[in-house]
Amino acid sequence: MKQFWSPSSVNKNKAMVENLQNHGIVTSDEVAKAMEAVDRGVFVPDRSSAYVDSPLSIGYNVTISAPHMHAMCLQLLENHLKPGMRVLDVGSGTGYLTACFAVMVGSEGRAIGVEHVPELVASSVKNIEASGASSLLKEGSLAVHVGDGRQGWAEFAPYDAIHVGAAAPEIPEALIDQLKPGGRLVIPVGNIFQDLQVVDKNSDGSVSIKSETSVRYVPLTSREAQLRGD
């Protein structure tokens, strides 16, 4: 049987999750289990830095967020990531958080990643294949697509949960449209100063928005602007 990770790296990943629990960032067993099942070390270019609580460059003027930010987003979306639910990850990058989402919604659910840099999509699929979410990718409940995430991914809408991994100047209308009533969108909003906003869609289609915390993300933009570093 092929081993995709060494026991030592799994222990480091588990220690990272325990650290997040000790700091009160991870508070649910489901989030802890998902983060333990998906070894962050598989998803970063330099494995020696994988478990440090800081963002890392993954090329193409893109970063993978720090573990505490991923944990915070998983916690904010936890009640919308129950088995059988649908989740969209915009700006899926390395595929790490998409894989965590997929583990939480399980084989009866659906986790879709959208990323506009084709090379990142290709590498993210390889990352996921080497992770604890590989079986979900193989059976099709987890998929990553090349596309402009600002337009969402209409094919599997509406979604119970939508996560955006880059900062938008304003919340894209398409993402609100693709959110299920009762669903939740977590998105960084702003240019120089950014807030992580939590958008809840009410049963009548209206939305309630609250700011969770100040953040610093790369901009949600076109592929051309992304590659230029605008």
Q: Which residues are catalytic?
A: 65
Residues in the chain: 230
Q: What distance separates the 2 farthest-apart alpha carbons in the chain?
A: 51
Q: What are the distances in angstroms from CA 185 to CA 4, 93, 179?
A: 33, 18, 7
Query: Is the torsion defined by CA of 176, 171, 183, 95 positive or negative?
Result: positive
Is the preceding peptide bond at 172 cis, omega within 30 degrees of 0?
Answer: no
Q: From 77, 136, 148, 147, select the one nearest 111 (Cα to Cα).
A: 136
DSSP three-state, residue 220: coil
Cα separation, 94 vs 86, in Å, equals 20
DSSP three-state, residue 226: helix
Spatial contact of 142 and 136, defined as CB atoms under 8 Å apart: yes
